[in-house]
Structure 1
């Protein structure tokens, strides 16, 4: 049975996250998606049925058929824009990183976005397809004309960004729910770009395939991400320990021969009493008398002058006779 200290340590110790592996099922889906990806590219390059379908949808002009939803879809398509979605998801995964005491959520997001930019960006630049609004000839595939819309970046980004949340889910039920929500968002963003006329339908299907390939390839990068997680957490722990071991600043200590602080003019200064007495001042400015030898009472200087204490006056006769024993009055001598 565990003691109380062991239970507290077990609660504070971060749990090891479940890292998906490249199973046969996942590998089969990856291969099938790759085949679909290549088929779409070949179909567009050969100006076959994907291109014909693209032109049919484009000439149908969905944004003119249903203009009442145009404003809403202008805002909805932002869910596929890389900047806003990456910031929102990174904020949530940053909170998960703090709670789980591991950098894996942020590392998965960073790795997926890096793969997305590398693969989709290279395909866009390499094939250079023009969008529907810039098409030059009806029925052409508009390839290698200096464009950058094939595959659709909004669609692929929606698949990856929202799909990462499902990939990082910790329970099967949460993973299924997050997968359905991510699929609906990616489907809606892709069809919105077709409605607005910014992408061909083949751009969207290729974007779905490109984003799914990135998510399916993430298990191959789990080992490098685990090593990076361990290294970064180790560096952070050493920085914290080094900061905790730094000595606290010491208070200044007065040294011999150091200049004394100025003495306040308002402080009273005691004058030396008797011969040989010296007055010294301590560092805080207060006077201090040096010790002197003790004298007997008979040796001390009298402080009262001799003679009468009664003040002299013009109408007061000097005393010439002693006081009487009874009345205290003077008697004259005849």
Structure 2
């Protein structure tokens, strides 16, 4: 019926919403980018307070204080035997503290933000934080060499300077840094508060899970929390270097994009003009002598390629220019007899006149 409106179906509604989503994804962000945080007085005070707590935990473990006694009490309590029903879930939950899976997830999200905001800062901040995490936590692990609860040698000992590498807890520090980066890069105060809560839940949960499973002492988890928090608090000091690296990479990328020409432009000499095929051959079947010269100068062929091929037996040798050589019609060509017999192999006869014995 003329003038009738097409009914709104589910397919049309989904198509309209999908078009709107993709149109919005292609747009630039509406709000401007927030400037990177500075090292304020409050952040500096928190940094040095956390650094003092870090030193206090290390000193408490070295002196075999009450903290080491607490480590042994929790280890001998064996939480994984007290609540075995939680073990299956916590085995998967602790993956949120592993460096590989969490780095891939967070890098994918920050890569999407970098593309939307046309900046490399989110990815560079994540890279800088993971580099600091590997250097500081890895050096502390190897330097203090503490054994884990499952490999303890003597009850009540601090198990320091042996062959272990669990002090501080890498899972805990990685959970603090990886999920805390999302709150650090948040663009609004509301998003920063929410992401801070999420990062705190993940960091606390991963740390207590390692104690429940029995892979870390309590002091390992405490030092892991302090290590991750120190990296997050120290990131504003690295913001000028991150900005410098971003400007360097973007300048080289834009220079690379401007310097790369299309393939046809790179292969064609400057100022050369390629004429159409009809113009080079001549209109209406014109003779080769009357066709115009091509715009591109043809390079000289080697002698082996420019020479005429040898004539067949019984044919007179003709000398024509390479461009004016004419091909004979099919009816004028001499038939070519193939070598050998055309009969099938089974119909061929073999002569038996010669003796089959060995030759003398």
| TM-score normalised according to structure 2 size | 0.68
Task: Check 1:11–1:207 CA distance in 2 against 1; reply closer, same or farther (3 A cut).
Answer: closer
1:264 positional shift: 8.0
Structure 1: stretches of 5+ with no match in the other structure: 1-9, 268-334
Alignment of 1:48-63 (within 5 A): 48-63=65-80
Aligned to 1:259: 323
Alignment of 1:84-233 (within 5 A): 84-233=101-250
CA distance in 1, matches of 2:329, 2:242: 71
- SS of corresponding position for 1:121: helix
Matched length? 259
1:259 positional shift: 2.9
Alignment of 1:27-38 (within 5 A): 27-38=44-55
1:26 positional shift: 0.4
CA distance in 1, matches of 2:251, 2:30: 15
Aligned to 1:43: 60
- SS of corresponding position for 2:155: coil
- SS of corresponding position for 2:186: coil
Are the counterparts in 1 of residues 80 and 214 from structure 2 also a CA contact under 8 Å? yes
1:262 positional shift: 6.3
Q: Deviations over 1:159-218 (max 9, x none)?
A: 000000110000000001001000100000000000000000000000000000000000
1:16 positional shift: 4.7
Higher-Rg structure is 1
CA distance in 2, matches of 1:72, 1:31: 37
CA distance in 2, matches of 1:244, 1:218: 40
- Report the more deviating stretch, 57-66 or 235-244: 235-244
Aligned to 2:345: none
| TM-score normalised according to structure 1 size | 0.73
Please report the RMSD computed on the Cα atoms of aligned residues, expressed in angstroms: 2.5
Aligned to 2:85: 68
CA distance in 1, matches of 2:79, 2:260: 62
Structure 2: stretches of 5+ with no match in the other structure: 1-26, 269-273, 281-293, 299-320, 332-360
- SS of corresponding position for 1:141: coil
CA distance in 2, matches of 1:262, 1:187: 88
Task: Note if 1:24 corresponds to 2:47.
Answer: no
1:81 positional shift: 0.3
